[in-house]
Amino acid sequence: MAAFHQNVEATIPALRRYARALTRDSDIADDLVQDTLVRALRSEHLFHGGDVRSWLYTILTNLNRNRLRSLARRPALSPIEDNDAPDLAGPEAGGRDIERALATLVEDQRNALLLVVLEGLSYREVAEVQGVPIGTVMSRLARARVQIKNYLDDGRPALRRVK
Amino acid sequence: MIDRNSPVTEDELHAYIDGELSADRMDAVTTWLADHPEQAALVASWRAQAESIRARYGAAIKEPVPQRLKLDQVLNQDRANGRSWATMAAAAAIVAFVVGGAAGWVARGTSAAAPAGFDVFATEALDAYRLYVVEVRHPVEVPGSERTHMTQWLSKRLGEDLRVPDLQSIGLKLVGGRLLPGPTGAAAFYMYENSSGERFTMYCAKADLPETALRYTADEKVAAFYWIDDNIAYVISGPADREQLEKVTKAAYEQVDKTGAKKL
């Protein structure tokens, strides 16, 4: 019991980082983490051993899917490009580029990529979180990387020209 | 991108940068890349992507955790919510008791004036599913811990002897239930969830329609099985995974079935 709580507590900073990348909004991200913690503590009795960290990532990923599903049912308020700062140069530009590139990914691909490169989960752990075979995780990763590369190679000059 | 006879597969290149290769394969790939500048450039671009992602979001892990995300705080707050839930549920029970008669009359009037088709139940249930499944702190009116009270309350409101299935055997915990407006008056709505937070709901409403076979409907995200039995329309909704939903439906069906006649 105490060990369970300690493991949950120790994972909070990493959950915040993952949620931040998923939502691109620190308030929404912290809401998501809070909901994840509430859910985890309530379902503690359903947790039958295993890796607490993977389990928390699973809950957070599913909650975020639910969030996106409910957003999809509302009319879009503003396309991502509208939030662009006019200046694409400078040290912040790289960060915004990758942010936009990530936003173009299919949700499952984005989750897989972030879990691997940002959160350092193994392929096996990501497979567990996403509830799919490892082969599916690898193809999601591969597609995500192709898509980001295409976006960064082609998308950025196009945006610059528009400006 | 990489020809079929290559000693190094594209999967291995991903595994290479993600630290998923064994030490000897690592060396083999490193050597191979030295002779394949095109693939080496690709691998470098993937590494650069990972670096940008870490540069953009990595620092979030070092920020101090805000008070509201401290575990003690979350625990206390959740307990407080639990208390207010119980109070609200008790209040709801009293209101239900008082207005029950009048609502029953309205329900009969509605159903006579606008006889509902079969599919409307699935539509309503899926709307409710989409609306409430995203709720984390207030997904239900009565928590699952008050199953007996909830069953009595909702049975009274629908004017039918309802059964709330126990789905623990397939790993689903009863989150609780709520009352909804339905096409024929009151509808009962129970929510279940598994250990990874996936949710399933069961929707029950009165239906003056003949018994039906089991039907299935789905869009990209959500799906439902629905049927009518003994003047009640039942809808089981969940994520769009037919096999999984079938399992849930079967387990729920076996418990609400009064005649034992229908087969899945």
DSSP A93-146: HHHHHHHHHHHTS-HHHHHHHIIIIIT---HHHHHHHHTS-HHHHHHHHHHHHH
Q: Are residues A41 and A104 in the same domain?
A: no
Q: Are residues B98 and B196 in the same domain?
A: yes
Tokens 């594209």, located at residue: B10
Q: Are residues A2 and A70 in the same domain?
A: yes
Q: Are residues A66 and A90 in the same domain?
A: no
Chain B nearest CA to A163, separation (Å): 23
B187-197 residue pLDDT tens: 999 999 998 88
Q: Are residues A91 and A15 in the same domain?
A: no
Structure tokens at A44: 């503690």
Q: Are residues A55 and A72 in the same domain?
A: yes
Choose the closest CB to A38 out of B42, B130, B136: B136
Q: Tell whether B71 is covered by a domain.
A: no
CATH number at residue A106: 1.10.10.10
**CA distances from residue B60 to A15, A16, A33, B185 in whole angstroms, order as listed:** 10, 7, 13, 49
* Residue of B17, B20, B51, B57 to mutate for A, most A C-beta atoms under 10 A: B57
Q: Tell whether B209 is covered by a domain.
A: yes
CATH number at residue A14: 1.10.1740.10
Q: Are residues B228 and B138 in the same domain?
A: yes
Tell me how many domains chain A contains.
Answer: 2
Closest residue in B to A141 (Cα) is B14
* Mean pLDDT, rounded, for A107-120: 97
Q: Are residues A85 and A41 in the same domain?
A: no
Question: What is the spatial distance between Cα B191 and Cα B202, in angstroms, rounded to a whole number?
Answer: 7
Q: Tell whether B74 is covered by a domain.
A: no
Q: Are residues B121 and B173 in the same domain?
A: yes
Q: Are residues B16 and B98 in the same domain?
A: no
B114-160 residue pLDDT tens: 234 778 888 889 989 988 888 877 889 899 988 999 999 999 999 88
Q: Is B236 helix (H, G, I), strand (E, B) or coil?
A: strand
Closest residue in B to A49 (Cα) is B195
Tell me how many domains chain B contains.
Answer: 2
Domain boundary among B20, B42, B62: B62
Q: Are residues A72 and A128 in the same domain?
A: no
The proportion of chain A whose per-residue pLDDT surpasses 90, expressed as a percent, equals 52
The proportion of chain B whose per-residue pLDDT surpasses 70, expressed as a percent, equals 80
Q: Tell whether B85 is covered by a domain.
A: no
Q: Are residues A69 and A136 in the same domain?
A: no
Choose the closest CB to B53 out of A37, A42, A117: A117
* Mean pLDDT, rounded, for B57-77: 88
CATH number at residue B228: 3.30.200.100
Which domain, by its residues, includes B231?
94-256
Sign of CA dihedral A86, A87, A92, A93: positive
Chain A nearest CA to B119, separation (Å): 21
- For chain A, the average pLDDT equals 82
Q: Tell whether B204 is covered by a domain.
A: yes
CB-CB neighbors (< 8 A) of A94 in chain B: 52, 55-56
- Kindly indicate the confidence band of residue A73, based on its pLDDT and cuts at 50, 70 and 90: low
Q: Are residues B106 and B155 in the same domain?
A: yes
Q: Are residues A85 and A60 in the same domain?
A: no
Structure tokens at B134: 């995203």
Q: Are residues B56 and B156 in the same domain?
A: no
Lowest mean pLDDT across A151-155, B165-169, B236-240: A151-155
Tokens 């120790």, located at residue: A10
Q: Are residues B112 and B30 in the same domain?
A: no
Q: Tell whether B83 is covered by a domain.
A: no
Q: Tell whether B1 is covered by a domain.
A: no
Chain B nearest CA to A87, separation (Å): 17
| pTM for the whole structure | 0.57
Contacts of B50 (CB under 8 A, 6+ apart): A117, B17
- Kindly indicate the confidence band of residue B216, based on its pLDDT and cuts at 50, 70 and 90: confident
Q: Are residues B46 and B100 in the same domain?
A: no
Q: Tell whether B120 is covered by a domain.
A: yes
Q: B45 and A149 in contact by Cβ < 8 A?
A: yes
Q: Are residues B31 and B115 in the same domain?
A: no
Q: Which helix (H) or strand (E) holds A154?
A: none
Q: Are residues A85 and A147 in the same domain?
A: yes
On whether the CB atoms of residues A68 and A28 are closer than 8 A, the answer is no
Q: Are residues B36 and B164 in the same domain?
A: no
Q: Are residues A52 and A94 in the same domain?
A: no
Which domain, by its residues, includes A95?
80-163
Q: Are residues B130 and B237 in the same domain?
A: yes
Choose the closest CB to A123 out of B20, B66, B77: B20
Dump the DSSP string for A44-90: GGG--SS-HHHHHHHHHHHHHHHHHHHHHTSPPS--GGGG--S---S
The proportion of chain B whose per-residue pLDDT surpasses 90, expressed as a percent, equals 42
Chain B nearest CA to A84, separation (Å): 16
Domain boundary among A51, A77, A103: A77
Q: A16 and B65 in contact by Cβ < 8 A?
A: yes
Q: Are residues B58 and B133 in the same domain?
A: no
